Structure 1
Amino acid sequence: MSRADDPFETYLLRVLCALMADQSVSRTAIRMNQSQPAISAALKRLREIFGDPLLVRDKNTMVPTPRALAAAAQARAALALIDGLVSSGESFDPATTEQAFTIAMPDYLAPPFLAHVVRAFRTEAPRARLTAMPLGPQFDYELALQDGAVDIVIGNWPSPPEHLHISTLLEDEVVCILAREHPWAAEGALTVERYLQAAHVVPMPYSIDQRGVVESGLNTMRVGRDRRVECPYFSLAPSLLPGTDLIMTTSRHFAQYHAERLDVAIVPSPIPFPAMRFYQLWHSSQHRAAAHVWLRGVLTAASRTLAPPAARLH
């Protein structure tokens, strides 16, 4: 919503929320399509209203104060209610909307997924804005959905929160990838015993409350793997395999994407892990909102680009 079209003059609240998310005047100016002097003036006014600096410099970064974090949480909740009031009963036209959408997701889906989403935005909603932000151990995605800071969270942990709405994007089998010259890359060479003895490359967990399919499966069997190399990103892990004895356990679509670009091989997992289920989560307050229904449709369509050819026919 542009400032000129804001009937309740919520501009300062929106600046506050953006500043807390970006922790930068320049990034907030870009996000809100405003000039830096305009955002600086808004920050000055907010500081006067709250009697608090809100953002303070710590070395080379800006850090929000406790008062700012508390105010931003209340502001996000208020904006969600106001936006719902304004949009209630209105039709949604992606071709003309200037709405900003935020998706929180790890990078464990192959790049064609987000590429499809971006193409859909540029084709169907050229004036809309899209932010794809990373999940992390310290990110409270349930609160972010509740407050409206995030529209959709994409996850794949086995037990998603029951109070959130859920829609499956993709179900995929678990496989292993390893260097093409690895002696266990031959068919049938990777046994359960070898798997448990092997050195594994494992991306860092993106949730402190949830275990992934692989860790949950190993825990059920009361066994563990040698997490010899841990890296910060899923998309980085396959590049660490060539020339090493490392193994990565992941979904087939992710493995296939990287096997077409790296000197790695895909082999069946010797352990019968459950299928990986990737899904989108959203809060009940957005369930019937026309813009949100459109966004969910875009993500669902994008997920079909990742499905195996046989699965796309159904």
Structure 2
Amino acid sequence: MARGAGFDKIELSLIRVLHTVITERSVSRAALRLSSSQPAVSAQLKRLRALTGDPLLVRSGAGMAPTAVALALLPAAAQVLQGAQALFGGHVSARAFAPEQAQQVFRIAASDYLDPLFLPELVTRVRAQAPGVTLDLLPLTREFDYRGHLARGEVDVVIGNWLQPPAELHLGRLISDEIVCLVAQDHPAVRSPRGWTLERYLQSEHIAPTPLHAGGRGVVEEHLQARGLERNIVVRSPHFGLAPAMVARSRLVLTTGRQFCARYLGQLPVRVVRCPVDFPPLTYYQLWHDLTHASPALRWLREQVRDVARGLAEAPARGPA
């Protein structure tokens, strides 16, 4: 980065452009997120290139890619913006955000474990109140470094369940749910519920989500492991929303929250049965970084996430057990 006289030419807004252009990897998307025009962002990128002596973004296939210098500058830019937010953003109320006038991108990384209706309801709610907003919905997979994406400002909110959420992130508790089993309607656990013992549960054929990181375990596995127990997992799938259809046509057992399972009763030939393991409640959270903690727009977004999750949780659940 240039020093001396060049340093005096750097405004906070220019650092924001730097951070946004690098994370978006696109001048047009950066302009949308900054509520600016593409020519204006292009002119600021030209200034940044002159100040850093580096192109920052270069052509890569059909898109753009940040240079090594750009990636090295990203953490420092995020730190400066975070400090500025702490200095000047704390007094800003969420009322300063006008959703009906907003023109920006919200990035949400979420698992589909909570409720199959959650993301559709959230999209409907946000679009109704903020028609100019664009939503990028990103899946939580084992390749997705959600902590890094949050720290770099590449994702605004992450939604999922953890036994112990990362300590460096802010969290908002959404709902807690009872853990139950979803099985086909002719599964032995339905025909002979008194015989649905811990031993038979562990020996059954189970379907489980692919862990969110290599070598990791889900909340069900973590709890079983702590008790010295292990179930017979024969299918691991990253497509959690497809698991109920697989269960309906097999002897597979899906162990997850009642709220998720209840949505499939009446749609598929499945039943909800009690789980022979005494699991603690399954708790879902939304996580965000200190970098965006005081943002009025993202505070508003987190409120929508909270209200949609709680509204679905208050809907009547169906099914025995």
Q: Indicate whether the TM-score tops 0.5.
A: yes
Tell me which interval the TM-score lies in, with the shorter structure as reference length.
Answer: 0.7 to 0.9
| 1:184 matches 2:189 | yes
Q: Does the C-alpha gap of structure 1 residues 240 and 77 become closer, same or farther in structure 2, counting only changes over 3 Å?
A: farther
- Aligned partner of 1:137 in structure 2 is 142
Structure 1 stretch displaced more, 62-71 or 299-308:
62-71
The amino acid across from 2:115 in the alignment is A
- Aligned partner of 1:251 in structure 2 is 257
- CA separation in 2, counterparts of 1:230 and 1:44? 48
- Aligned partner of 2:305 in structure 1 is 299
- Aligned partner of 1:127 in structure 2 is 132
**Within 5 A, what are the aligned runs for 1:1-314?**
8-9=13-14, 11=17, 13-19=19-25, 50=54, 54=58, 56-57=60-61, 66-67=68-69, 69-77=71-79, 91-186=96-191, 187-208=193-214, 211-309=217-315
CA shift for structure 1 position 133? 1.1
Normalised by the length of structure 2, the TM-score is 0.77
- Aligned partner of 1:3 in structure 2 is none
- CA separation in 2, counterparts of 1:40 and 1:190? 65
- CA separation in 2, counterparts of 1:288 and 1:35? 25
Unaligned runs of at least 5 residues, structure 2: 1-10
Structure 1 stretch displaced more, 262-271 or 42-51:
42-51
Report the aligned-residue RMSD.
Answer: 3.6
User: Contact 1:15–1:28 (CA<8 Å) still a contact in 2?
Assistant: yes
Q: Secondary structure at the match of 1:202?
A: strand
Q: Does the C-alpha gap of structure 1 residues 31 and 146 become closer, same or farther in structure 2, counting only changes over 3 Å?
A: closer
Larger Rg, first or second structure (1 or 2): 2
- CA separation in 2, counterparts of 1:29 and 1:103? 19
- CA separation in 2, counterparts of 1:223 and 1:144? 34
The amino acid across from 1:259 in the alignment is L
1:222-256 CA deviation, whole Å, 9 max, x = no partner? 12111111112211211211221111111101111
Normalised by the length of structure 1, the TM-score is 0.78
CA shift for structure 1 position 214? 0.7
Q: Does the C-alpha gap of structure 1 residues 63 and 259 become closer, same or farther in structure 2, counting only changes over 3 Å?
A: farther
Q: Between the two proteins, what is the percent identity of the paired residues?
A: 39
CA shift for structure 1 position 197? 0.8
Query: What is the total number of aligned residue pairs between the two structures?
Result: 300
